[in-house]
Amino acid sequence: MAKMATTTYREALRTALKEALVKDPRVFLMGEDVGQYGGSYAVSKGLLAEFGPERIRDTPLSESTFVGAGIGAALGGMRPIVELMTVNFSLLALDQIVNNAATIRHMSGGQFNIPLVIRMATGAGRQLAAQHAHSLEGWYAHIPGIRIVAPATLEDARGMLWTALEDPDPVLIFEHQTLYNMEGPLADDAGPVDIDHAAIRRSGKDLSLITYGGTLGKTLQAAETLAREGIDAEVIDLRSLRPLDMPAILESVKKTHRVVIVDEGWKSGSLSAEIIARIVESAFYDLDAPMARICSAEVPIPYPKHLEDAALPQPAAIVAAAREVVGRRG
């Protein structure tokens, strides 16, 4: 049996970065303040001293160009990891991600592939207001040609990076900013994990709660509350937002016949809408009730805590939606 040690999500990400830098000389990290500053979320703290400025590269504030340079370096034989401070800043590099990273393999007739990993923080919950707190990973999941993953656990924070680096195509990793301080036990031999499949984080028979990333914890909390009321919820962590693991989702739906989706993205034109559409397409007659969604309110995420809390999915709302879907009134 592997020994367990207490670690944090941040440390798990750092261990994964170190492992990749040690294992593969083609791997390097670049982004704003990843070196001397230690990373805006301190994920890469200490790596500059250990691996030097050739492999831990502080970039100027020019998202489009250092993401594009990541694409070029991947085409040139390297295995770049590009860190973007937040998903909001990634919009400055949207052209490179959508018009180049996602298209070049198909558009070149399969001649060139882009083994690039882009990591970024996403989500709200730390009172950072509307330009540092959005959840736009669902937007990226709209785009064919890139893969989107969201580690929600220590194991995934530790294990998704290496698998993403081994993938021949661009992989975007979304790290919810409220998770960095999450602490818990992790096996000291934890290593790479698959990035293809959803995971059942809690098995149940009465309804399926489908979520990922920063809302996994809130959803598990809601499931415990529901359990005390005699409602046995299954919690699915999507892990991969593109491609979606539809077989896993449908298997759960066929078991529970009831669905609530929890997504910090907005509802309109969203990932949660996509999941509902696919369930309707493939498992409509397995449903015993209309599906429900708990998403962020359709506002730019506000600064004051009471308003931010009100804008985001919260366990109480998940519980209320679950009760409704199983036909119980609180």
Partner 1 sequence: MNEPAATAATDVRPNLDATNRLHVGHDHDLLLLHEMLRIRRFEEKCAELYSAGKIRGFLHLYIGEEAVAVGAMQALGRDDAVVATYREHGHALARGIPADRLMAEMYGKHEGCSRGRGGSMHVFDAHTRFYGGNAIVGGGLPIAVGLALADKMQQKPRVTACFFGDGAVAEGEFHESLNLAALWKLPVLFLCENNLYAMGTRLERAQSQTDLAAKARSYLMPAEPVDGMDVLAVEAAARRAAAAVRRGEGPAFLEFRTYRFRAHSMFDAELYRDKSEVEVWKQRDPIATFISHLKEREETADAILGALNGSVADEIDVAVQFAEAGTWEPVDDLLKDVYSPRPGSDGAA
Distance of closest approach, residue 249 Cβ to partner 1, in angstroms: 17
Answer for the pair 318, 222: CB distance below 8 angstroms, yes or no: yes
106 contacts partner 1 (rule: CB under 8 A)? yes
CB 319 within 8 A of CB 226: yes
Q: Please, what is the minimum distance in Å from the beta carbon of residue 256 to partner 1?
A: 28
Q: Which residues from 61-100 bind partner 1, rule CB under 8 A?
A: 62, 64-78, 80, 95-96, 99-100
Residue 132 annotated to the active site: yes
Q: Kindly state the smallest distance separating residue 57's Cβ from partner 1, in Å.
A: 8
- Where are the strands (E) in 87-187, listed by range? 117-122, 147-149, 171-176, 183-187
Per-residue x/- marks for partner 1, 154-173, CB under 8 A? -------------xxx----
Subset of 173-192 contacting partner 1 (CB under 8 A): none
Shortest Å distance, C-beta 194 to partner 1 = 12
Count of CB atoms situated within 10 Å of the CB of 143: 18
Provide the Cα torsion 162, 166, 171, 174; round to 10°. Answer: -10
- Cα angle 185, 175, 26 (rounded to 5 degrees) comes to 95
Residue in 32, 83, 132, 257 annotated catalytic: 132
Q: DSSP of 199-266, one letter per residue?
A: EEEE--SSEEEEE-GGGHHHHHHHHHHHHHTT--EEEEE--EEES--HHHHHHHHHHH--EEEEEEEE
Reply yes or no on whether 11 is catalytic. no
Instruction: Report the candidate in 65, 169, 52, 40 with the shortest Cα–Cα distance to residue 117.
Output: 169
Q: From the CB of 70, what's the least distance to partner 1, in Å?
A: 6
- Considering the complex, state which of residue 96 and residue 215 has its C-beta at the smaller distance from partner 1: 96
Rounded-to-10 torsion of CA 142, 194, 34, 300: 30
The encoded tokens of residue 147 equal: 């893969």
Residue at token pair 């670690």? 7
| Segment contacting partner 1 by CB under 8 A, of 55-63, 176-184, 221-229, 271-279 | 55-63
Per-residue string for binding with partner 1, 10-49, x by CB under 8 A?
A: ------------------x---------------------
Q: Counting contacts by CB under 8 A, is residue 281 touching partner 1?
A: no
Does 113 bind partner 1 (CB under 8 A)? Our answer is yes
Closest CA to 21 of 78, 70, 73: 78
243 contributes a contact to partner 1 by CB under 8 A: yes
Which positions are annotated as active-site residues? 63, 132
Would you tell me which residues interact with partner 1 (CB under 8 A)?
28, 54, 59-60, 62, 64-78, 80, 95-96, 99-100, 104-113, 144-145, 147, 167-169, 243
